[in-house]
Chains A and B, each alone.
Chain A
Amino acid sequence: MKFSWISLAALIAATGAASAEEVRVYNWSDYIDESLLSKFEEETGVDLIYDVFDSNEVLETKMLAGGSGYDIVVPTGTFLERQISAGVFQPLDYDKLPNAGNLWDVIRDRTAKYDPENQYSVNYMWGTTGLGVNVGKVKEVLGEDAPIDSLDLVFKPENMEKLASCGVMFLDAPTEMIPAALKYIGEDPDSKDPDVIAKTEEVLMGVRPYVSKFHSSEYINALANGDICVAFGWSGDILQARDRAAEADNGVEIAYNPPKEGALMWFDQMAIPADAPNPEAAYKFLNFIMDAQNMATASNYVYYANGNKASQDLLNEDVIGDPAIYPSEATMENLYSVTAYDPKVQRVVTRLWTKIKSGT
């Protein structure tokens, strides 16, 4: 009996000691080149525990519950904004981030909308929300002049009725889909007016019967396998689906198009929770990821643009040269971004979304 108590105490002491050399990162699924994870461990000697999520809501709930145990988390700008006001994060000490000089001021200006002066976060990746299309199948169903770069493709019932036969998935993210529907009907996508938001119900309800699933990560595989022919999803995810299909050589050809009516631009920001068990190790990880070569490796793998100016020289041509990833100046102007909803409007949005998803 005595022996087991001693060993238990030793075990607790051991885990306590181990946590000093440990960093826990909570990032989006399919969002890093995994070779970077082992590279970080080799370079710094810090144990890396890497967990993934596929929705901001899940992350935010963990953050608001407190004591998540993570040292680095990666919320999207709108969510970050609200979490900062809830006191979730600690301000960054840029002195501990010697690679901060690599950051891209264009993106930092844009993210300051959510995090004034970028006091709490640095940009990891950014991208747009748009249309993933299985070109062959869509043209087979809708004809050669199918509107594959327009919101008409997914918000016009006539088109969706035909596309239903080959399968359509929408993101299960009301904070992205409702702004898109607002854009489609010519309203301000960042509207916080419940009456304006309510106008999207007609558009979304009209196409809902033809959506096979609302989900925020399954569409990558489903597009690549040919299970669906259209996905309304995140740029890099769709480009990953394009590559998986090309690798599998299954005759599926995927294209990503930001809608010509305007596409939502979003920013995923790395931040350190206020109650992070090991902020020192978190800085090591942040600085590692802000290294130009490492960031380029990550972007080359996930097909998302990053907020790191210095990494741009090291990006593959099919990343930096692809206007779907790094849009031209002109396209950039056509991108819009949105801000956080307050709790009352959030409830209206969620309720509308539930109604759209379930019909009730």
Chain B
Amino acid sequence: MNLRRVTLIALPYLWLLGFFLVPFLIVLKIALSDTAVAIPPYTPTLDLSGGWAAIRDFFGQLDFENFTWLTEDELYWKSYLSSVRIAAISTFITLLVGYPIAYAMAQSPDEWRPTLMMLVILPFWTSFLIRVYAWIGILSNEGFLNQFLLWTGLIDTPLTIMNTTTAVYVGIVYTYLPFMILPIYAALEKLDGSLIEAAEDLGCSRLSAFWLVTLPLSRPGVIAGCFLVFIPALGEFVIPSLLGGSQTLMIGKVLWEEFFSNRDWPVASAVAVVLLLLLIIPIVLFQKNQQRQQEAEQ
């Protein structure tokens, strides 16, 4: 019985160790190395056959130079900030679009729900890349959207949407919308309808019942949805590189440049480590805060 318990607990930890901690340590190690013209393009590499002396020598060669470098060039913090802004705005828009959809799904008759759910999930059956490419066809100067608007006579010169930050917002909101809808729907579906009735019996208007009862009770879903959208959007590379223009500054693109154009794996790894810390610290603080609140409520 005890063994089973230990195994059960150990499994997720082993998972985290193998798929999070070990890769992280490898990246961290590269971040502390120097570039070299070789395979792999950094030095030192660990050679265990050299015994203790080699290992000591290996650690002696690691330093924090690359992290200092990140603070010396404004490009990096500007890209981090710009990524945070783009991710935050897209998360907000996704919430504005996603919440009503989730709410409508939860309000719809029981027999419709599986179909509606299916419709939300359906786009995942097509490759993400193809769906983003499809937006190029829609948003480009000669694309469907502009042709339609020209045809209706609403505009007389094509709108430039492709290759701008607007196109990046469209791409992110479209791609991550299901990640917002599903957790909110899950929270709203569980909601006890009698609570709303009680609120209305006690004199609430429909709007204030929604505001005072439904919204607070769906909060865990909203928070989960926001995290699911914000975190991947922050490090997004594919969407800004396909839909965005050259002026769209995002840390994912900077990372790509370091890795591919400069062949500077150590600096690229340092950028990745900082990105991870920037994500993890606020999330941990937020979680702590949530926990404290919950405990206080109980």
Contacts and interface: CB of A to CB of B under 8 A. Distances in A.
Residue of A55, A88, A346, A347 ringed by the most chain B CB atoms within 10 A = A347
A61 B262 contact: no
A65 B45 CA distance: 13
B249 interface: yes
A360 B74 contact: yes
Interface in A74-126: 82, 85-88
A198 to B, nearest CB: 15
B40 A174 contact: no
B185 to A, nearest CB: 38
B65 interface: no
- What 4 pairs between A and B have smallest CB-CB spacing? A57-B260, A357-B246, A66-B39, A64-B41
Secondary structure class of chain A's binding surface, majority of residues: helix
Interface in A154-186: 167, 174
B264 A358 contact: no
Residue of A55, A87, A350 ringed by the most chain B CB atoms within 10 A = A350
Contacts, number: 77
26 contacts: A57-B263, A60-B260, A61-B259, A63-B39, A64-B39, A64-B40, A65-B39, A65-B40, A85-B37, A86-B37, A86-B39, A87-B38, A87-B39, A212-B163, A213-B246, A226-B142, A227-B140, A227-B141, A350-B261, A351-B75, A354-B254, A354-B257, A355-B75, A358-B248, A358-B249, A360-B78
B79 interface: yes
Interface in B70-88: 73-75, 78-79
A360 B78 CA distance: 8
B126 interface: no
B147 interface: no
B236 to A, nearest CB: 16
A211 interface: yes
A294 interface: no
Contacts of B79: 360
Given A354-B75, A358-B248, A358-B249, 16 more contacts: A57-B260, A58-B260, A61-B263, A63-B39, A85-B37, A174-B261, A213-B245, A227-B140, A227-B142, A346-B263, A350-B262, A354-B254, A355-B75, A357-B246, A360-B75, A360-B249
A135 B262 CA distance: 36
Nearest to B259: A61
A86 B43 CA distance: 13
Interface of A: 55, 57-58, 60-61, 63-66, 82, 85-88, 167, 174, 208, 211-214, 225-227, 343, 346-347, 350-351, 353-355, 357-360
B247 interface: yes
Contact of A358 (B39, B246, B260, B263): B246
Given A66-B40, A343-B35, A359-B247, A213 B163 contact: yes
Interface string B250-277: 0000100101111110000000000000
B142 A214 contact: no
Contacts of A351: 73, 75
Contact of B264 (A65, A82, A174, A347): A347
B16 to A, nearest CB: 26
Nearest to B157: A165
Nearest to A64: B41
A250 to B, nearest CB: 10
Q: Chain B: interface residue count, which band?
A: 20 to 34
Interface string B145-160: 0000000000000001
B141 A88 contact: no
Contacts of A353: 261
B140 A343 contact: no
Contact of A225 (B74, B142, B248): B142
Contacts of A359: 247
Contacts of B40: 64-66
Contacts of B246: 208, 211, 213-214, 357-358
Nearest to A82: B37
Nearest to B164: A212
Contacts of A358: 246-249
B5 to A, nearest CB: 26
Nearest to B42: A64
Contacts of A58: 260
A36 B254 CA distance: 38
Contacts of A57: 260-261, 263
A357 B75 CA distance: 12
Nearest to A274: B39
Nearest to A67: B39
Nearest to B258: A350
A264 to B, nearest CB: 18
Nearest to A174: B261
Nearest to B41: A64
A128 B257 CA distance: 25
Interface in B43-97: 73-75, 78-79
Contacts of B257: 350, 354
Nearest to A222: B140
Contacts of A343: 35, 37, 262-264
A60 B263 contact: yes
A353 B261 CA distance: 10
Contacts of A211: 246
A52 to B, nearest CB: 15
Nearest to B37: A86
Contacts of A214: 246
Residue of B79, B245, B246, B249 ringed by the most chain A CB atoms within 10 A = B246
Contacts of A167: 141
